[in-house]
Structure formats: structure tokens, C-alpha cells
Amino acid sequence: MLDKRLPDRTVGRLSLYRRLLSELRKRGVSHVYSHELAKAAGVTAAQVRRDVMATGYSGSPTRGYEVEELAASIGKVLDGPARQNVALVGVGNLGRAMLAYFSGRRPNLSIVAAFDSDPGRVNRVINGVRCYPMGELSRVVAEEGITVGVIAVPTTAAQEVAAALIRAGVTGLLNFAPTPLHTPPHVYVQDMDVTTSLERVAYFARQSSEKNTGA
Amino acid sequence: MLDKRLPDRTVGRLSLYRRLLSELRKRGVSHVYSHELAKAAGVTAAQVRRDVMATGYSGSPTRGYEVEELAASIGKVLDGPARQNVALVGVGNLGRAMLAYFSGRRPNLSIVAAFDSDPGRVNRVINGVRCYPMGELSRVVAEEGITVGVIAVPTTAAQEVAAALIRAGVTGLLNFAPTPLHTPPHVYVQDMDVTTSLERVAYFARQSSEKNTGA
DNA sequence: GCCTGTGAAGCTATTCACAGCT
DNA sequence: AGCTGTGAATAGCTTCACAGGC
């Protein structure tokens, strides 16, 4: 059993490595060294080796990692046995961007249903995904075996939507609303708070300018 | 001088506290205890006290923090003396979501120009923001004194756009493209990688389900 | 020589726990 | 009694540095 829970930073980097490996494979590259992958990912070589270690895969000191095999090893850790279905709530600009972005991506993880409270946006298909009214949420989530929810609704509705998704059986949430969600401990929440991120970037951008000006 | 660089997690949380405080103020609340703010923000009370300490503000043991004053103290740290201008590159669904979201927000930080390579999307105003063709980027960034860039373009264009923004004088980037950017050390980059985030949520959602199933 | 895998060290971030105050 | 501010302890993450292998 190597699937004791990995740290979440590690999981994030593994996801990135896999995409980089897939890129390499397309370009016909068959082997890669930790320092090469590190450079592409913007991390240190030691970090890459630690992360690879966590997947249970071992490379060769002479040839480095086999691109194909490492990608498979990461997949075994990240993907698990069954395919996972995702529900998107909120089909505004952000929600549509998500649909466009994930349509026809990894077969192991796909958005299979969208929901919105606006009657003008429901009962149609966007990027191959059926858009339902909110009232159908618990039924569809249960029927489709959805385990992950993406919250792309206005702040005021976020908590309520989260609660509904959790009640319907979802155990992971990606939250774009700039408000912390109150959720039971068995639910994993990842916040994608654009406001906070932008303020953070502004803060450090300013630090950089000041340093340059001051020196 | 209390403006030695704060850790970036701290900056992120301060941004969140400020929004929560603004909410409290609207509701007429004048004082708040660390444990109350902590609950609202989803962190521990000790964490809140540490973060507040970093701003230089002190509360009272009897009444807690004064909402108004704490918000002001956070502002003094986060906002700096002058207003900061932001450029958005890429006016697809995601870019438009950003424009809608940030139009008329904090006066200290606002998107003042957008850029796109598609001629059909330029030379008009969306949510009060003028949309220019890519060729105008370096001129407008310089003229408007823009220090922060938001990258909302397809993966293939991201690196090139980042380079152009940096050449024009930007020192902070918010990157929505799912690829790491190669940037000089004086530039701060914050990645908002939706692919990675969603895979991470899926991983931990699965862990939760398994734990429940297994127990 | 240059790689990987990894124990140990180093760093950073968070939490504990309590003195001091009202 | 219940709060804040904070030194000290802890936990978590990253990097160092080197043994082992080709």
C-alpha cells in the first residue's frame, strides 16, 4: 500500500509533472532527468526526486526517468481506480470558461453536469455538458455518482450551494467564490480566490518595484 | 518601519480578513475577537493574532479588535502609498469574468486596460475597461504605469505574453495558464492553475470517500 | 562523471501555552 | 473569566549532501 495520503502540495506538483511528461512524450522524448523536469516545472531537482519517490517509481541513474512509465506511475496515484465525475454550479462567464477548458480532457475526470438558477441558462448543452436547473441538483449528483463540485456562483449563494452539493454526496469542492465555506471535516475544499490572489500579486509587485527603486 | 516583506500566506489571509471586516462594518459591528474572525476565515484564533501582529495593530484584551481600525491597519500594509494599475491579457470567457468581477472594486487596485490578439475583440469597452490590440501593450502599460498583469490567454501564448508584460515594466503576474512561466527573479508570479487544482480536489475527494467506505 | 534515492539538516509556518491585563 | 501578545514548541516542507550505481 503506497496510497497513504500525500501532502497536497505534492499532489499539485505531480499533476503538473504529468502534464509536462505528456508534452515530452508528444515530442518523442523517452527519458528525462530530474533536473530537466525541475527546470520545466520551476522547482528544484531535489524536489522532483522527492515527489517521484512518493509515487513509488524509481528511475535509473544513467538514463533518468522513463517518461511513459513515470507518467503511468503518477496516474496510478492521482487517478485511482474509477473515473470521477464533476458537477459545475454557476454557468456565468467563469463557469463557461471552465466548461470550455475541460471539455474532452482527461477521461478520468470530467464535468458531467452543470447547474444554474437562471431559467434562461438551463436545459441546454454547453460544450457537451447538459445544464440543469438547481432543483435537479441532488437527483443528478446522486444518479451520476458525482464526487467533486465546482462552485462558480456569486458570493451570496456559495455557502448554500456548497451545502447542497455536500448533502448530495460530494466530498471535494473547488470554490471560486471569494468567501470561506463552512464544511464538515470529511469534505476537502480548495479555494481559488481571485481577489486574494490579485491583492497578493499587487503587494509583491510593489515590493519588487520598491526594491528596484531603493537600490 | 514595519514593512519588511511579509510571508505570502500571511498577505493572502490579511486580504481575506479585510473583506470579512468590511462585511462586519456594514452590519454595524464595531469590535471583533480573534476567535470570531478566525471562525469566519476558517483558521485558528492563534493564526489571526499572529497575522494581526504582523500589521502592527494591537487590540484590547477586553473588547478585542476594533473593526474599523484593524481594517485600516491591514490597508496600510497591503495597499501601499499609490494606487496600482492592472492589465488583463486575454478577453475570452475567463478574461471577461475577471473584468466583470473587478469592475468598480477597490480604488487602490483596478484593471485599467485589456488586450487581445483577436481583432474582433479589440477597440471596444467591456465593463468600463478599454480593450486594445496586442501591439499596443508596451505603450499602454508604460503610459498607464501598470505594474500587475493578469494572463488569461491559451497555454501556447502564455510565456510570450509574460515576457512582453515584463519587458513593459510589470513586476507581478497572475497566471491562469496551466504552464509554469520562466521569469526573472524580480518578478512575482502567482499561478492559478485550474487543472492542477481540480485534480487535487479529485484526489482528496477520493481519499475522503475511501475513508468513509473503509470505516 | 553524472545520475538517482534518501537520511539528516534547515527553514518556514502554525499552534501551544501562558504571562499580563481588565 | 476571558481576552490579547508572544516566546517556545511543533509540525510540515524543502534543500543539502552524499552513498551507491552505471
Q: Does the pLDDT of residue B27 top 70, yes or no?
A: yes
**In chain A, what is the straight-line distance between the N-terminal and C-terminal CA atoms, in Å?**
54
Average pLDDT score over residue span B138-167:
97
Q: Give the per-residue pLDDT at B215.
A: 37
Q: Give the per-residue pLDDT at B212.
A: 56
Q: Does the pLDDT of residue B2 top 50, yes or no?
A: no
Distance from residue A47 (CA) to nucleotide C5 (C1'), in Å? 12
Would you say B146 and B121 are in contact if contact means Cβ atoms under 8 Å apart? no
Q: What is the pLDDT of residues A190-200, one digit of tens each?
A: 999 999 999 99
Cell of A46: 531535489
Q: Specify the DSSP element, H or E, that contains A116.
A: strand A109-116
| pLDDT band of A3, cuts 50, 70, 90 | low
Q: Specify the DSSP element, H or E, that contains A110.
A: strand A109-116
Q: What is the pLDDT of residues A56-98, one digit of tens each?
A: 999 999 999 999 999 999 999 999 888 999 999 999 999 999 9
Would you say A65 and A37 are in contact if contact means Cβ atoms under 8 Å apart? yes
* Cβ contact A197–B211 (<8 Å): no
Would you say A204 and B188 are in contact if contact means Cβ atoms under 8 Å apart? yes
Distance separating alpha carbons of residues B202 and A190, to the nearest angstrom: 10
| Residue of least CA–C1' distance to D3 | B61
Q: Give the per-residue pLDDT at A214.
A: 44
- Higher pLDDT among residues B196 and B104, named by residue: B196
Any residues with CB less than 8 A from the CB of A132 and at least 6 apart, and which?
A113, A114, A115, A122, A123, A140
Average pLDDT score over residue span A15-31:
97
Average pLDDT score over residue span A125-150:
97
Cα distance from A40 to chain B (closest Cα, Å)?
7
- Higher pLDDT among residues B80 and A67, named by residue: A67
Distance separating alpha carbons of residues B62 and A186, to the nearest angstrom: 36
Q: Give the per-residue pLDDT at A209.
A: 74
Distance from residue A45 (CA) to nucleotide D17 (C1'), in Å? 13
Q: Give the per-residue pLDDT at A213.
A: 53
Q: Give the per-residue pLDDT at A105.
A: 72
- Is B40 near strand D, with its CB below 7 A from some atom of it? no
A91, A92, A94, A100 alpha-carbon torsion, rounded to 10°:
50
Residues in reach of strand C, judged by a CB distance below 7 angstroms, are: A 33-35, 45-46, 49-50, 52-53, 57-62, 64-65; B 7-10, 43-44, 46-47, 49-50, 60-62
Distance from residue B56 (CA) to nucleotide C13 (C1'), in Å? 19
| pLDDT band of B207, cuts 50, 70, 90 | confident
DSSP states of A156-180 as a string?
HHHHHHHHHHHHTT--EEEE-SSS-
Cα distance from A58 to chain B (closest Cα, Å)?
22
Average pLDDT score over residue span A111-122:
96
Give the whole-number percent of chain B exceeding pLDDT 70.
Answer: 95
User: Residues 18-47, chain A: which have Cβ under 7 A from strand D?
Assistant: 43-44, 46-47
Any residues with CB less than 8 A from the CB of B160 and at least 6 apart, and which?
none
Q: Give the per-residue pLDDT at A1.
A: 41
**Option in B42, B97, B170 nearest A97 (CB):** B97
Query: In one letter, which amino acid is A125?
Result: V
Query: In one letter, which amino acid is A169?
Result: G
Q: Does the pLDDT of residue B1 top 60, yes or no?
A: no
Any residues with CB less than 8 A from the CB of A23 and at least 6 apart, and which?
none
Any residues with CB less than 8 A from the CB of B46 and at least 6 apart, and which?
B34
Indicate if the alpha-carbon torsion angle B198, B201, B203, B206 is positive or negative.
negative
